[in-house]
Amino acid sequence: MIVTLLRRVFCCLLCRKSEKGVKLLVLCGCLSLLFYLQWNNKLLLRRAKIRDAQNEEEIDEALEIEDEILLAQYQKRLQSGDVTPSNMNFVFHNKFPKSASTTLNYILLGLARRNGFNYEKINSGNIANSIQEDAPVIYFVENNFKPPYLLLKHQFWVNFTGRIPYEMRPTYINMIRDPLDWVTSRYYFNRYGWVRDPGCRGEGCSMSREEHEMSLDECVEKKLTLCTRPSPYFPYLCGPSSACYDHRKDLVYKQTRQRILDEYYFVGILDHFEETLRALEVLLPSYFGGAVEILKGEQIQKKMKLTRTKNKKKMNEKTRQYYLNGPLKYEAKLYNFAKKLFKERLDFLGIPITTTTDD
């Protein structure tokens, strides 16, 4: 408003017959005021950025304290036997994409035959193949539930409470992946596919040649939306509600963290795939008994090598820091929290960590 007023005064002076000295004096005053206003605006913006940074530091410190308290409470729950499956007749593994889905599917097919449970994997093209919606999954379960039942699907967390008979509400399990590795794998998989089945997937098939051949590091360097706006990570554990998409990611982090503690019987870690299966053998033996034996079999090992992402490149440190301090800051924080819960669970079960899985 003030800038507009100054412009009007300046134009008025040019149009009217006034003494040259008066015009020059008023003009200098207007320019000085204009420069001051611009300088003051920059100063206010700079102060706002500093204030936001300070607020973010305070938020992060508070979250760290909360994390420690929740971890201590979780230890007590484990010791008191308060972490139990909600329904032994129905296990739902709502998977993250690019997190050993194919390998786990092969293992579960073998386990279903060995342990005598009913297993289904909802694939692309199925009536319930909607990652973001609850209703199709609930409808599918109502019409296909045959206990003992294990369901595997790429799916955001589904709220079954009050929408399905109690005996059909599942015991939730999941296995998550380092979000930086997850973004890297999805980026190159969309362009190059698997070792056994090369070729583009999804959005990778509609890219220009330049975009297709661009590394993730180059993409981040150019700040393209292809890589600076990663696919949603939180909803797979949090759900499709607005609270899981809030622009305040610290709030989404808290919501998702609580969901893990309240709704999930077990959350494994892809980097420790074998240890995840060993824990499940103990926690859900009627489903996962013998899982590690099948994993180490020649057939599964061969399939694992063939379903690795083709042409995947490790991101450089600059790209890594960009994600850790920007788009994936709170996702990485959630992963680290889940990893601490995982280690607490393994310690309680007496399972050492001895392997690391590479995709």
Q: pLDDT of 274-305, one tens digit each? A: 999 999 999 999 999 999 999 999 999 998 88
Confidence bin at 70 (pLDDT 50/70/90): very high
pLDDT value of residue 43: 46
Q: Taking the CB of residue 36, how many other CB atoms lie within 10 A of it? A: 10
pLDDT value of residue 55: 87
Q: Is 342's pLDDT higher than 90?
A: yes
Confidence bin at 308 (pLDDT 50/70/90): confident
Q: Is 326's pLDDT higher than 50?
A: yes
Using a 10 angstrom Cβ sphere, with 0-12 exposed, 13-18 middle and 19 or more buried, the burial of residue 20 is exposed
* Residue 74, SS3 per DSSP: helix
> Whose CA is closest to 77, among 263, 281, 345, 333?
345
Q: How far is CA 286 from the centre of its chain?
A: 30
Q: What is the pLDDT of residues 119-163, one digit of tens each?
A: 999 986 677 668 889 999 999 999 999 999 999 999 999 999 999
Q: What is the pLDDT of residues 173-224, one digit of tens each?
A: 999 999 999 999 999 999 998 888 888 888 878 888 898 899 999 999 999 9
Phi and psi dihedrals of 328, rounded to 5?
Answer: -120, 20
pLDDT value of residue 45: 54
Angle between helices 20-79 and 329-349 in degrees, nearest 10: 10
Rounded to 5 degrees, what angle do the CA atoms 108, 299, 288 make? 25
Lowest average pLDDT, out of 62-76, 105-119, 268-282, 343-357, goes to 343-357
Is 307 in contact with 198 (CB distance < 8 Å)?
no
pLDDT value of residue 52: 46
What strand order describes the sheet that includes 90-95? 118-121, 149-154, 90-95, 171-176, 264-269
| C-alpha radius of gyration, the chain, whole number | 27
Round to whole Å and give the CA distance between 144 and 146. Answer: 6
Q: Which residue has the tokens 């590690």?
A: 292
Confidence bin at 48 (pLDDT 50/70/90): very low
Give the number of C-alpha atoms closer than 13 A to the C-alpha of residue 349, restricted to the C-beta side: 21
Confidence bin at 50 (pLDDT 50/70/90): very low
Is 110 in contact with 288 (CB distance < 8 Å)?
no
Round to whole Å and give the CA distance between 124 and 339. Answer: 30
pLDDT value of residue 196: 81
Q: Is 54's pLDDT higher than 50?
A: yes
More confident residue, 46 or 24: 24
Percent of the chain with pLDDT over 90: 70
Q: What is the pLDDT of residues 97-122, one digit of tens each?
A: 999 999 999 999 999 999 999 999 99
**Both structure tokens of 96:** 């993250």
As a whole number, the mean pLDDT across the chain is 88
Mean per-residue pLDDT, 327-337: 98
Mean per-residue pLDDT, 83-99: 96
How many residues can be counted in the chain? Answer: 359
